[in-house]
Amino acid sequence: MEVKNPIVTEITYGKNFSEELKTKIGTNKKKKKFLLDYPTIYIIQDQNKKQYTVYVGETTDIKRRTTEHLYEDPKSRKEWQNLAHTQNGRMFIIGHDHFNKSLTLDIENRLMLYLSSVDRIKHVNNRRTNAQNLYYTSDEMTTITSKIWYQLNQRDKVLFPAESIIRDSALFKASPFHKLTPEQINAERKIMAKIKAALARSDTGQLILVEGEAGSGKTVLLSKLFYELNADLLEQAQKSAPRGYLLVNHDQQLTVYKQIAKKLGLEQLNKDIVSKPTRFINRHSDQRPVDIVLVDEAHLLWTQGKQAYQGKNQLADLLRSAKVVIAVFDRNQVLTTEEYVSDQQLKQLESHARKTDSLIELHDQQRINADRETVKWIKNLALKSEISKIPDDKKDYKLMIGTNPNIVYQEIQRHNSEKEIAKSGLSRLLATFDWKYVDKKPPKDQDSWRVTVGDFSLPWNLQQKQTKKEKRENRGRSWAEQPQTINEVGSTYTIQGFDLNYAGVIIGPSVKYRQGRVVFDPTASQNKKATRNRTLNDGQKINVAEKLLRNELNVLLTRGVNGLLLYAVDSQLQEALQKAASPDHLLS
């Protein structure tokens, strides 16, 4: 049976709301029933210049709840004081004949997910995450939400952008309002129980290690934990110190988390509630330990001194600075020598976590929308140096081999049409770091550092000149979200932690095929952070370039949700890939 359209009524938010709502409903019995007698969802918004503040809620009595917001909530909460005096407040009241308590809570949570991903929204003021499990109408939640959002978009395209634009944003993908999978829910419950037990003790250094491969849902789990640990503190009249700080050693991810913290009001607790590990360590080394530190991309933590960081191991320093450290780690995404962790050190970390039953492993693949055999083929290429026949995929994941880089680029452009972006998201071209790039220092003989293979040539990421307007529009956006980057080539430094619809990957000369196996040639790489020697604590110098270049390839090959397009510069590797591809897997 087709799900009916929702009823969406817009009124002015203010003391005369009840009379205006009565007028809008008029003699319409259906509106009266579903807006006044049924549970409803509502959105209150206030516009200041070009930015919005919004509140999302659900209630069984819209008149009573709105009256409370207008006259009671301002007595104890600053955000409601601001809304009480607004001259531009609007309220959208949403009804549906299938609304029940569980469904309205679930849709409220989904609307929080959407609205916290909108560029123009400065603050989202609801404090709850309310994703529900199974209930009578749970199978209708996604459809009804889309119908609600479509109607809202028809009323205000700035405040409520197209659903496809929302789903494509990096903020959406890292939001704490995603509904967790059963595996993530179990992990969250276990972590929360461990935190509660650790905080009851006086000692520091409880390590909770969360391991999972690329696309296993680590970021969403961490984002949810970060928000849940701190959200209730915002209700207090006197803001206390954060219960949990979030750290990440990745510029693009740092920007995303800072935006989330700002939109959800968490920066009120501490402006550095989200920061890089070095900044946190330098500011907290001589202070009382904080309660909790959450570390995303913990494989990017430094394990030796560098620049502003004078220590020897960032994780060890964090364990001294916090009662609990939750570290999200993927051994196959360590990319530079200063992040390198030996197998022995990793075993010690895992052993340390296992002693307190604090090693959490995520196995479900949530990014790559492909059959298990296809995922295995990708892993085998990157991590086991094996190339076998490319399997046919029942989920229609497109694993294709291009006969030249121009064809791969053209296919990426084709998948980046407005229609496909609306349906499935952005597609971008990536490459191994085998072509020279010097940050903020253009080459003498041309306008940009470029990835060049024969007659193919495109600039490396983050080099195209932008107008003031473009810079303003791109502020806070990740590399792939910026429209001009369809004409650039991305690297691990701009794409790690993010996903794409289709990922085109040019495998440069540092990856070769010899005697039936994939091998790595550090002399052909321009990635000095991976190819230089690593100095161990005892002064011994070792070279781990092959391991790090393998991880670089692994990161690039695991970005595509619906497709992966490959071309290899090494002729023997390209020949092996083409031999592995049936005609249906060839781009020519």
User: Of the candidates 210, 582, 557, which has an alpha carbon nearest to the alpha carbon of residue 379?
Assistant: 557
Rounded to an integer, what distance in angstroms lies between the CA atom of residue 559 and that of residue 380? Answer: 16
Taking phi over 0 as left and psi of -120 to 50 as alpha, with beta for the rest, 355 belongs to alpha
For residues 374 and 561, the answer to whether their CB atoms sit within 8 Å is: no
For residues 285 and 293, the answer to whether their CB atoms sit within 8 Å is: no
Rounded to an integer, what distance in angstroms lies between the CA atom of residue 316 and that of residue 325? Answer: 10
Rounded to an integer, what distance in angstroms lies between the CA atom of residue 324 and that of residue 204? Answer: 7
Rounded to an integer, what distance in angstroms lies between the CA atom of residue 302 and that of residue 7? Answer: 53
Q: What is the pLDDT of residue 164?
A: 84
For residues 123 and 161, the answer to whether their CB atoms sit within 8 Å is: no
CATH class of 182-362: alpha beta
Where b means 16+ CB within 10 Å and e means fewer, 146-184 reads ebbbebbbeeeeebbbeeebbbbbbbbbbbbbbbbbebb
Rounded to an integer, what distance in angstroms lies between the CA atom of residue 43 and that of residue 63? Answer: 14
The beta-carbon contacts of 371-379 under 8 Å, at least 24 apart in sequence, are 371/395, 371/397, 374/399, 378/557, 378/558, 378/564, 379/213, 379/554
Residue listed under structure tokens 């309310």: 130
Question: How far separated are the first and last CA of the chain, in Å rounded?
Answer: 45
For residues 534 and 542, the answer to whether their CB atoms sit within 8 Å is: yes
From first to last of its 588 residues, the chain has per-residue pLDDT tens of: 688 999 999 999 999 999 999 999 999 999 999 999 999 999 999 998 889 999 999 999 999 999 999 999 888 887 788 888 888 899 999 999 999 999 999 999 999 999 999 989 999 987 666 666 666 777 899 999 999 999 999 999 999 999 988 988 889 989 999 989 999 999 999 999 999 999 999 889 999 999 998 888 999 999 999 999 998 888 765 667 889 999 998 888 999 999 999 999 899 899 999 999 999 999 987 788 999 999 998 887 877 666 667 677 889 899 999 999 999 988 888 899 888 888 888 888 898 889 889 999 999 888 899 999 999 999 999 999 999 999 999 999 999 999 999 999 999 999 999 889 888 889 999 999 999 999 888 898 888 999 999 999 999 998 888 899 999 888 888 899 999 999 999 999 999 888 999 999 999 999 999 999 999 999 999 999 999 988 876 778 999 999 999 999 999 999 999 999 999 999 999 999 999 999 999 998
Measured CA to CA in angstroms, residue 268 lies from 79, 223, 234, 262, 295 at distances of 12, 17, 8, 8, 20
Q: Which runs of E-coded beta strand occur in 376-449?
A: 398-402, 428-431
Measured CA to CA in angstroms, residue 219 lies from 22, 34, 212, 246, 327 at distances of 45, 38, 10, 11, 11
Residue listed under structure tokens 């993530």: 184
Rounded to an integer, what distance in angstroms lies between the CA atom of residue 410 and that of residue 430? Answer: 13
Rounded to an integer, what distance in angstroms lies between the CA atom of residue 221 and that of residue 131? Answer: 13
Q: Domain ranges in the chain?
A: 7-161, 182-362, 372-587
pLDDT tens digits along 141-178: 999 999 999 999 999 999 999 998 898 888 998 999 99
Measured CA to CA in angstroms, residue 538 lies from 304, 310, 439, 531 at distances of 12, 17, 32, 20
For residues 391 and 378, the answer to whether their CB atoms sit within 8 Å is: no
Q: What's the half-sphere exposure (Cβ side, CA atoms, 13 Å) at 196?
A: 6
In angstroms, how far is CA 58 from the centroid of its own chain?
27
For residues 124 and 263, the answer to whether their CB atoms sit within 8 Å is: yes
Q: What is the pLDDT of residue 133?
A: 67
Rounded to an integer, what distance in angstroms lies between the CA atom of residue 36 and that of residue 40? Answer: 8
Q: What is the pLDDT of residue 562?
A: 96
Rounded to an integer, what distance in angstroms lies between the CA atom of residue 163 and that of residue 111? Answer: 11
For residues 298 and 268, the answer to whether their CB atoms sit within 8 Å is: no
Alpha helices in 116-214 (DSSP H): 141-155, 163-168, 170-173, 182-199
Question: At 553, is the secondary structure helix, strand, or coil?
Answer: helix
Kindly state the DSSP code that residue 583 receives in the 8-state scheme.
G
State the pTM of this model. Answer: 0.83
Residue listed under structure tokens 């298990």: 372
